[in-house]
Structure 1
Amino acid sequence: MLWPQGYVQVYTGPGKGKTTAALGLALRAAGAGLAVFFAQFAKSGEYSEIKALARFADLITVRQYGTGHFVRGRPSAEEIKAAREGFAEVKEIVRAQKHPVVILDEANVAIKFGLISLENVLELIKEKPTPVELVLTGRWAPEELIQAADLVTYMEAVKHYYQAGVRARIGIEK
C-alpha cells in the first residue's frame, strides 16, 4: 500500500463530469500500479469508458449492477436485486483490501431511487479499512453522505450544449 490513510470522496451535482472524474482517478491509480474496483450502479452496457477500461483489465476491475434500463420512478424488483447483490459484492471487495481504490459510480442515484440504502452506504464508510480510498459518484448525494465524506466535489453546469439540442455523442458523453 502506498498510503497509510484512504479517504472518502464524493462527486455530485447536476453538472457533467462526475463519472469522468472518477474514471480519471481510476486511470491515475492504475498508472501508479494500484488495483481499482469500478462498480457501476444503475448502469449496464458497453459504454465507451467500459471498452477503454477493458484495456487495463490487469489493474481495473469493472462490474455493472444495473439492468440496462434508466430507473424512472419506482425501480423494478430486478433493478433492486441487481443493485443490492452488487453492493454486497462491493462490501466484500472493500473488506478484502485487494483494491486500494474502490469507486461506486452512480451510488448516489442508486440511493435516491432506493436501489441501495443510505444506511448501508454510511455503514460501509464507517467500516472501511483505513487504507482503502472510496469514491462515490452521482447526482443527489444526501447530506448525511456529504457530511461523512472527506472530499466533496460539486459539479454545476454553467452552460451545456445539450440545452441547444446537441445529443450525447459517442466518445464524449457516452
Structure 2
Amino acid sequence: MRGYVQVYTGDGKGKTTAALGLSVRAACAGLKVFIGQFLKGSETSELKINEFFSNIEIVQYGTPDFVFGKPRKDQIERAKKGLDDAQKRISSGEYDIVVLDELCVAIHLGFFSREEIEALLNSKPEHVELVITGRYAPEWLMERADLVTEMREVKHYYKKGISARKGIEF
C-alpha cells in the first residue's frame, strides 16, 4: 500500500480528532500507528489509547504549559528532540501511519525551518502514511501534501463560555 501525506489545518475544531479517528480505523485494520504530539505535554484522554489499541503508540513532545508569545528554550528543545524522534520512527519501517499532531503550529512558531520539514517529508518511506495537523499550515506544505482538509469554524460553544470537556476536547 502506498502512503500519502495528509494535512488537517484551519481554525475550526477537529484536526486532532480527525487524526485520532483515522488512527483508530487503521488500528482496527491491523496497521501500526505512531502519534507524536508537538506542543502538548499535559494529561489528555487520548494518552490512554494504547490501553485499548496495542498497535497505537502516542508520545507528547511538549511541556505541560501552552506556548504563549516567544517560545522558551525548553519548549524549543523538546520540540527539536521530538522531531528527531519522529524522524526515526518514520524511517524505521515499523509504522504504517505516523501522525505529527500540531506540527503546523510548531512550524508557525518558528520551532522548525522549511528545510527541516522538507527533509522529513523527503525521507518518508513510500508505504508510510504521514498525517500532519495544526492551524497555520504553510502554503508550501499544503502544496506538497496529497490531501489537505481545512477545518473552518462556523459556530463554537466556547464563545458562550463553555470550557473544554474531558473526553470531548481533551
Q: Which position in structure 2 is the counterpart of 1:22?
A: 19
Q: Does 1:101 align with 2:88?
A: no
Report the secondary structure of 1:152's partner residue.
strand
Structure 1: unaligned runs, 5 residues or longer? none
CA offset at residue 57 of structure 1? Answer: 5.2
Q: Deviations over 1:21-70 (max 9, x none)?
A: 0000110111011110100000012201212x131452011111001111
- Matches of 1:10 and 1:30, distance apart in 2: 20
Q: Contact 1:108 / 1:140 at 8 angstroms: preserved in 2?
A: yes
Q: Which position in structure 2 is the counterpart of 1:66?
A: 62
Report the secondary structure of 1:85's partner residue.
helix
TM-score using structure 1 length:
0.94
Where do 1:7-156 residues align within 5 Å?
Answer: 7-51=4-48, 53-56=49-52, 58-156=54-152
Cα RMSD for the two superposed structures: 1.0
- Matches of 1:57 and 1:44, distance apart in 2: 21
Q: Contact 1:122 / 1:148 at 8 angstroms: preserved in 2?
A: no
Report the secondary structure of 2:75's partner residue.
helix
Q: Which position in structure 2 is the counterpart of 1:162?
A: 158
- Matches of 1:34 and 1:83, distance apart in 2: 26
| Amino-acid identity (%) | 52
Structure 2: unaligned runs, 5 residues or longer? none
Q: Deviations over 1:122-159 (max 9, x none)?
A: 22112211100000000000001000100000000111
Following superposition, which runs of at least 4 residues in structure 1 exceed 4 angstroms of deviation?
Answer: none
- Matches of 1:83 and 1:146, distance apart in 2: 21
Shifted more, 158-167 versus 116-125: the winner is 116-125
Q: Contact 2:27 / 2:53 at 8 angstroms: preserved in 1?
A: no
Query: How many pairs align?
Result: 170
Q: Deviations over 1:68-91 (max 9, x none)?
A: 111111111100110100100111
Which residue identity lines up with residue 61 of structure 1 in the other structure?
E
Which residue identity lines up with residue 74 of structure 1 in the other structure?
K
